[in-house]
Amino acid sequence: MYLSFYNLKVKPFQMSTDPDFLWLGEQHKEALATLKYAIIENKGILALTGDVGTGKTTLINALIQSLGEDTLAATIYDPSLGVLEFFNVVASAFNMGKTFESKGRFIIHFRQFLKKARERKQKVLLIIDEAQAMEAELLEEIRLLSNLEQEHIRLLNIFFVGQNEFVDILQEYRNRALRQRITIRYHIEELTLDETEAYIRHRLRVSGTEAPIFSPGAMDEIFAFSGGYPRLINIICDHALLSGYVQELDTIHANTIRECRGNHFAGGTGRGTGGRSGDA
């Protein structure tokens, strides 16, 4: 609706995993490098954590897209499953072509699957998203899967990707064995004000414009509302562009962001602080 008014080819702040819109701040670049390092060095179990909307899934998608044929990767997006259900989902994700009625049969075939991958000089990566939703019994079973080795070489790398609660779950006494097996941990923080501005400019540029559509004061308000969470940045910016189009504003200022926040997000969720003095 507002595309032609702002000379945009596509909507810049839609919720999508389009790789063209991928923007990595310094910590995201570091996180991605850490994930790649963990695969190359066969580190075993890794935990990537961060609050809701900080870009964990986007980061994982970027990792998968960067992998070559020397890595077999599968992602489980909903691990709130029973043990056998989980094993069958894993088998399906790796295209093993079998359904299992017992844990034992799965382990036998999965070990064979891993050995064949190693013979082909392929690494195997299992990514478990929303890890905070997993039951303790399943966490323990996954820890046992990580024990699958051949000639003292790990056959399986496991990446847990979870919200902040997963950090607390790992600290529980009953999960101490799993906690000790995690070789790398990385926690993603929210974007800073400067990163928020860079993120917005990047998405506008990919969409077709270099114009400073959002004023410095508007950037401050966006940060104050979003707290640096990319998901919330997308939401408020999309609404602001629509409001700017309706009001025929070439430049969106702080008052427009405040209006959008008040009309659509009363109370807000922002945690950002500081910034420049707001412009009208």
pTM score: 0.83
Domain ranges of the chain: 26-188, 192-264
Tokens of 29: 């670049």
Place of tokens 């209006």: 259
The dihedral region occupied by 188, where left means phi > 0, alpha psi between -120 and 50, and beta the remainder, is: beta
Q: Which fold does the domain 26-188 belong to in CATH? A: Rossmann fold (3.40.50)
Beta-carbon count within 10 A of 177 CB: 11
Comparing 26-188 with 192-264, is the CATH topology the same? Answer: no
Helix (DSSP H) and strand (DSSP E) numbers for the chain: 11, 7
Segment 267-279, tens digit of pLDDT? 444 444 444 544 5
Segment 187-199, tens digit of pLDDT? 999 999 999 999 9
pLDDT at 273: 43
Contacts (Cβ under 8 Å, ≥6 apart) of 173: none
Return the CATH number of 192-264, one of 1.10.8.60, 2.40.30.70, 3.90.226.10, 1.10.260.40.
Answer: 1.10.8.60
**In the chain, helix, strand, coil percent, each to 5?**
50, 15, 35
Distance between CA atoms of 156 and 171, rounded to whole angstroms? 23
Segment 43-85, tens digit of pLDDT? 999 999 999 888 888 889 889 989 999 999 999 999 999 999 9
Query: 77, 92 in Cβ contact below 8 A?
Result: no
In DSSP terms, which residues pair with 73 in a beta bridge?
125
